[in-house]
Amino acid sequence: AKVAGKNGYRFYSRAMEQAVSRRVRMEQDLRGAWERGELSLVYQPIYNVADKRLAGAEALLRWQHPVHGPVAPSVFIDVAEQSGLIEVIGPEVVRAACRDAMRWRQRGGAANALFVSINVSARQLRSGDFRDQMLAALGESGLPPELIHMELTETTVLNDEEQARKILGHLRDSGIKVWLDDFGTGFSGLSHLRRVPVDGVKIDRSFIADVMRDPDDLALTSAIIAMAHSLGMTVIAEGVEKEGQFDLLRSRNCDLAQGYWLGYPLGLDEFMALID
């Protein structure tokens, strides 16, 4: 291989070229990855803050590349989104999550009430038959609709408020719950909450990270919880890594929490071992 020249521009453009071809290669590799069994779901437990009982789980996608090993979701989901592959993978994720949730429900007892939370990207929400896909997956699985939660980011919902509001309205009419993910990072503000049809907000982990040190972050977190409650919404805190963060959240009446201190994302069997 040639040594990079002193010419900064040439070096820079080479690096860009490499980044582009890496993306193209990743897109090719990602095509058919679900069918080949390289993609799978893990489940991160979500707990009630008041009594620390298991409430549900967030489904998180994993890609085990046959040569490169595990690929970070932040990287490959972006590729899937840009290329449109998310419209193929997304419905598989929904079907698999519903099927898995039915498996843990079969244990009965407390497992009957556990919800499964699924991440939905902007492109997925806007794809023509998203609503029908969701309802079909639900019907197929036999899962009660209120046990399916969809997580959408603020920007997904607010960029195209009219259309998004319509789709979300339909899904909520069928009983599915809708959450605003990464809440607080978009700075669209609490006032928008009145206008978007959601059941709850997920406070972004960047706020939770500093909640014990930074009085501003604690004030913001407390304000989000109080405001959401006054609008009849539920609040999840994500990224809880320390007991002290959990204790603060409990003192502010946060409803639900998830994070490494409470539990890592787990394979289905390991997650099911947490039940009871």
> What is the rounded distance in angstroms from the CA atom of residue 152 to the CA atom of residue 202?
10
The answer to the question of residue 248 lying near ligand C2E (CB under 6 A) is no
By beta-carbon distance, which residue lies closest to ligand C2E? 259
Phi, psi of 196 (to 5 degrees): -105, 135
The answer to the question of residue 100 lying near ligand C2E (CB under 6 A) is no
The answer to the question of residue 181 lying near ligand C2E (CB under 6 A) is yes
203-242 residues in contact with ligand C2E (CB under 6 A) are 205, 238-241
Tokens representing residue 65 in the block: 């590349």
Judged by beta carbon, residue 87 or residue 182, the one nearer Ca ion is 182
The answer to the question of residue 101 lying near ligand C2E (CB under 6 A) is no
Judged by beta carbon, residue 27 or residue 78, the one nearer Ca ion is 78
The answer to the question of residue 119 lying near Ca ion (CB under 5 A) is yes
The entry of Ca ion, ligand C2E, none near residue 265 (CB within 5 to 8 angstroms by kind) is: ligand C2E
Encoded one letter per residue, x for contact with Ca ion by CB under 5 A and - for no contact, window 184-213 reads --------------------------x---
Residues that bind Ca ion (CB under 5 A): 119, 151, 181-182, 210, 214, 217
Residues that bind ligand C2E (CB under 6 A): 44, 60-61, 73-74, 77, 93, 119-121, 151, 181-182, 205, 238-241, 258-260, 265
